[in-house]
Structure 1
Amino acid sequence: MKNIKGFLGAAGFAAIAAIGMSSAALADDAADGERKFGYTITITGVSDYIFRGISLTNNDPAFQPFIEFTYGTPSLTWYLDFWGSNVNDGLGDPWELDVYAGVRPVTGPISWDLGVLYYTNPSHQASTINPTNAGTDYVEFKIAATITPITNLSLTAVGYATPDVGFASPVTETGEFDAAYTLPAFGIFTPTISGAIGYTHAERAGTFDALCPSDHCDDTQINRGTDSYTYWNAGVKLTVDKYFMDFRYWDTTISKQDDQNGYADARFVFSAGVNLP
């Protein structure tokens, strides 16, 4: 019952927010003209797959394809995304496939993003024969607001909420602030400097433990892990036509005692890719 209430509460919040923001954008949407379909493909290689400051590839490189389908106008756009990556998370999952869906309305100076994110590991599904072999899939709800106070500067505040889905994730809340500024072109490159700081909290002790899941630890590991931490990054992205490179520094407040494998250590991450078409 607790799981159901948590899920319904988060789903209700996201639904109400989406209805409210979408309704506020309808008048502007009508003036934007004909609604259109669109799509974008991004293919990226990274030196390490970092999710909120924690490596999900055991500090190894990853290949990450992405495709987004859109429908709407500039003031009201619906989207459906598919994103994938190889992983090495200690649970035997060789790859991850995520699905995102939502709406991006614009109300005055604020661009909104209200969505539902479904994180899946297709090779690690829950077993009906062996109840201890739990699945790792979970749902997350997102609400983000972006403003551009001056030319080339964007500021984004985003919140994520995850309901209790048992082994895969307890009730978790994450807040993040992002800033990005596009500099004048330098030769063939268009540089953008950006950074982010976030805080995540889970309502289960030891959730963020790179050594083992908190409810599958032995006596020597049970006190390791944390239920909350802060993460941040800063870097520069260089764009040349459809191609890009990103050089970024990541760090977290997770201690070495809680992360003896070093998955949350400070590190530099390099990524490169192309946007199509």
Structure 2
Amino acid sequence: MGAGMAGFMAMSPVQAEQPATFGYSAVMAGATDYMFRGVSFTQGEPMINAYVEFTYGIAYLALSAENINSGSPDDIGYGALGPWEQDIYIGIRPTTGAIQWDIGLLWYIYGVRGGGVGVWDRDFFELKLGMSVSPTENLTIGATSFYAPEQGLALPEGLTLQGDVSYKLKNVGVFTPTLSATVGRWGLAENAHYVGGYFVDVDGDPHKSIVYWNAGLRLDVERLFFDFRYWDTNISSSDTDARFVFSAGIDLSP
């Protein structure tokens, strides 16, 4: 993946370099559920999230923290997570021609509620390669891949492929509405800790992948946003069944 990116960027026109400057942004948000690739990580309960990002030119460092409550304390699977999660993202966002890239490393750090599992046993990291284009002023289309190496109890080796599309509509009064949708496949191999697959359905059967999708409407007004979204997957369980999720937040950026 890295070699392919290097070759592509070497052959593609790159935007003229701009003087690098420091910047930061911050968002506080809440939601009726914490959905991660179609899986509820709060058992259908509300979630509060704080996000801050620092940038210097095309480089970025972001920190995210949220509450999490997933399953029984005796579950050594992903159900052992809680009561908090902290994420660290680092990467670059270069531009080649009309394509905006996002190349980064994502580190997920979890609190663990019992189950005989240590805190560091459940943390995992992924490599991210994303791209997006805007064929028209209001339309954005993107594709992202996430690769997770084998990480024992935390995660088997896995690959996620995801597509996104969004379209900004004309203002309605003080609101700026945006329609968006996502579809993805989160695939994970099996290992000694996840025999048969990482994802478990309502009958207790394991699966090596989950297909997830969502569609919704976001309304922006000044620094506030409100998002109304429908989620579903191809696996039936209490954490992956269809549901509507409402989220709202405030942009605290300067």
> Which TM-score applies when normalising by structure 2?
0.87
Over the matched positions of the two proteins, sequence identity in percent amounts to 38
> What does residue 36 of structure 1 align with?
21
Give the gaps of 5 or more residues in structure 1.
1-12, 212-220
Tell me how far 1:21 sits from its aligned partner: 6.7
- Give 2:245's aligned residue: 269
Structure-to-structure mapping, 1:41-120, within 5 angstroms? 41-72=26-57, 77-90=58-71, 91=80, 93-120=82-109
Q: 1:71 to 1:29 in 2, by over 3 A?
A: farther
Q: How does 1:113-262 map to 2 (within 5 A)?
A: 113-121=102-110, 123-124=111-112, 135-204=121-190, 205-209=196-200, 224-255=205-236, 259=237, 262=238
Change (3 A) 1:174 1:228: same
SS of residue in 2 equivalent to 1:135: helix
Aligned match of 1:216: none
Shift of 1:206: 2.6
RMSD: 2.5
Cα 1:131/1:48, change in 2 over 3 Å: closer
What is the distance in 1 between the residues matched to 2:10 and 2:128?
Answer: 18
CA distance in 2, matches of 1:101, 1:23: 22
1:209: Cα distance to partner? 2.5
Cα distance, 1:92 vs structure 2 = 5.0
Q: Which one has the bigger helix percentage? A: 1
Post-superposition CA distance 1:131-160 (Å, at most 9, x none): 888711001011011010112000001111
C-alpha spacing 1:39/1:131, structure 2 compared with 1 (3 Å): closer
Q: 1:45 to 1:29 in 2, by over 3 A?
A: same
Q: Secondary structure at the match of 1:94?
A: strand
Q: Unmatched 5+ residue regions in structure 2?
A: 72-79, 191-195
**Offset at residue 254 of structure 1 (A):** 0.5
Give per-residue Cα distances to partners, 1:224-276, cap 9 Å, x unaligned: 23111210000000000111000000000003xxx3xx110100000000112
Q: Which residue of 1 aligns with 2:77?
A: none
Retained in 1: the 8 A contact 2:170–2:177? yes
CA distance in 2, matches of 1:206, 1:134: 22
Amino acid at match of 1:203: A
Matched AA of 2:231: W
TM value normalised by structure 1:
0.80
Aligned mates of 2:113, 2:242 — CA distance in 1: 32
- Is the 1:134–1:167 contact (alpha carbons within 8 Å) kept by the matching residues of 2? no
- 8 Å CA contact retained: 1:17, 1:114: no
| Contact kept? 2:112, 2:118, Cα under 8 Å | no
Q: Report the CA distance between 1:84 and its aligned residue.
A: 1.0
Change in Cα spacing, 1:254 to 1:38, as seen in structure 2 (3 Å) is same
